[in-house]
Structure 1
């Protein structure tokens, strides 16, 4: 079921979201200060490309730089991106077929608001990030 939903998502909105996040990531990586934000945009883009079967978790080792970076991201871009996901999610939820896709858009809101200090993991292995070391 996840694969079918991912394919429908990819065709209807995932590809466009991925391309938007990818272009934003390239632009952000043009400056040294923007590189962490560009990497975050690339991660969000990959998550937006194939969201079913994945979730985000907060990293315990993220420190003060993530907090400062998230504050800048939230003020400059995060709330606009989250607002776009809210509007698109509500529009998709107006149809029965679009409800899972709308929920996937709502799932992207937390990572769009505060992307630094988060990791994207598979839902069947949520604690895999803790076992890296």
Structure 2
């Protein structure tokens, strides 16, 4: 492992710890509540499972990226998702991003919040990958 990779891993870890303390927990709770509510019905179970996947990213977003693979099914599920749940999660992440942009130190965290806001609008067809 190269020295630059080690530094990147350490910086991601530090960023995730600070993120967790200053707001990541609230985003995680929002995604978990949405996942639990969707999982109550059998029809909503695939949507709930996607919420749980994104909740893990919401808890520690540094060092992760979202890759999209669009299909017709994911398009229809995203439309249903935006109407029923995604809008409010996206608004929460956008408000968080605006608050975090107040200070210079908060700008990288605002970027992570904006990444989560984008996923809030289009979670289906999204795959979370670790940045190398």
> What's the TM-score bracket when you normalise by the shorter of the two chains?
0.7 to 0.9
TM-score of the pair, normalised by structure 1: 0.85
Indicate which of 15, 32, 48 corresponds to 2:25.
15
Deviations 1:61-116 (A, max 9, x none): x5322111111001222122212211110111101221111111011122110101
- Which structure is higher in helix share? 2
Q: What is the TM-score of this pair, normalised by structure 2?
A: 0.86
Gaps of 5+ in 1: 125-133
CA distance in 1, matches of 2:21, 2:41: 32
Structure 2 gaps of 5+ residues are 1-10
More moved, 46-55 vs 97-106: 97-106
State the 4+ residue runs in structure 1 displaced beyond 6 angstroms: none
Say if 2:15 is the partner of 1:5.
yes
Structure 2 distance, partners of 1:77, 1:29, is 13
What is the alpha-carbon distance in structure 1 between the residues aligned to residue 114 and residue 68 of structure 2?
Answer: 17
2:88 aligned partner: 80
SS at match of 1:32: coil
Q: How many residues align?
A: 122
